[in-house]
Amino acid sequence: MDDGEYEVVIIGAGICGLATAVALHRKGIKSVVMEKSESLRNDTGTAIGIWQNGWRALDQLGVADSLRSTVIPIHRERIVSLDDGKEQLISINGEFRALRRKDIIDTLFDALPPATVKFGCQLESINTDTDTAKSVLRFLDGSSIIAKVVIGCDGGNSVVANYLNLKPTKIFSLCGVRGFTNYPNGHSFDHEFGLFRKDNILVGRIPMDDNMVYWFCAHPYLPEDERTWESPELIRRSTLEVLSAHPQEIEEMIKNADINSFSLARLRYRTPWDLLTGTFYKGAVVVAGDALHVMGPFLGQGGSAGLEDSVVLARHITQKGLKQVGNERKIMVEGLGEAFNMYAKQRRMRVLRLSLETYLTGMLLGATSRLKKVMYFMVLSFLFPIKNGHVDYDCGSL
């Protein structure tokens, strides 16, 4: 990579990084996205649920309609307790669909000007030039660049978050398995989000079209899970063992899943109290997406929260951090402090509430004693009495 100087550098070409680049592009701000992998990371992961707050953000980014055409809408949740046989049906108010991660990545990438994303650029360190207040980014290949603005969208192990002295992420006592299952002759599932709970195991199932189903399973982590991470077939076998007491339709779903779609990972989170007191930005360096608020998948809000970040951040940079120079809009470093402060104020309580509800849900699922389960359930019911109340949120216009 050639050394150079850039207006805005985004670290990470995941969903939030690409969405932030698209948001800035729509506001006339040129950015470059530095991605450590050698190609677009559109072959990892399976799908993510996008609730109405996420679709509002996608609408602002101008990519929602093309993504809507790829999957079916989901109209209700069916929550089944396999321990006592109780079942609850909840109508979904607003829009909810599960999107393939590949489709989101590809659509956002296609919405950017050519050569916006540079591959094979793994960030090693960030330093600030005291004379210019600009950031000097050094990469593992020995190259370096200068940037007026650095936006860290580099995931849960973020180099940018470390630069801001955000505390390390923590690990739930749970791991997550995900995959796709194709039913060549069509499946019989309604357009509903099925959630099946048994002991400390949670299984979710979301139809994507008449043939394809996205599923996930969260279950207690066992040390022997480490050996299965790199083998899809071992992931399948271990998951079937975990779900051996579940209904046959769930076991069949795992047996018939696409072997290449399996993934297994420990579930990580940034604690709510770290988000309450942590630094979202320093100088002209700021974080967004999982780099800021990585959370468990229990609410299905990690991806949508990152999309919200991209819209809010681009809006405030446009309002406070720009000046017109000829036909171009240039970053005004002296205005970035106010822009980032506004971004931090707007996002802090939003991601704090999401992270707190996710944290409590994960602790409830992973609790091994009845007393702890009752305690977490009572706290959740008191703080978040409205089921799915977090999806009734609008991040505003771009």
The span from the CA of 235 to the CA of 264, in Å, is 7
How confident is the model at residue 286, as a pLDDT? 97
Q: Which of 85, 68, 374 lies closest to 209, judged by CA?
A: 68
Q: Do residues 300 and 206 share a domain?
A: no
pLDDT computed for residue 225 by the predictor? 56
Asked if residue 175 and residue 163 are part of one domain, the reply reads: no
Is 85 among the domain residues?
Answer: no
Which pLDDT does position 41 carry in this prediction? 86
Of residues 131 and 305, more confidence is placed in 305
Residues 179 and 259 reside in one and the same domain: yes
Q: In this structure, is residue 88 part of a structural domain? A: no
pLDDT beyond 60 at 327: yes
Q: State the average pLDDT over residues 222-236.
A: 75
pLDDT higher than threshold 70 for residue 1:
no
Rounded to an integer, the average pLDDT of 341-354 is: 97
Predicted pLDDT at 2: 57
Mean pLDDT for the chain overall: 92
Query: What integer pLDDT is reported at residue 133 of this predicted model?
Result: 80
Lowest mean pLDDT, pick from 22-26, 42-46, 297-301: 42-46
Give the pair of three-digit tokens for residue 123: 């960030």
What is the number of structural domains in the chain? Answer: 2
Domain annotation covers residue 86: no
Position 90 in a domain: no
Query: Which of 72, 68, 48, 59 is closest to 19 using CA atoms?
Result: 59
DSSP label at residue 257: B
Query: What's the pTM value of the predicted model, to 2 decimals?
Result: 0.94
DSSP 205-230: EEE-SSSEEEEEEEEE--GGGGGGTT
Identity of residue 219: H
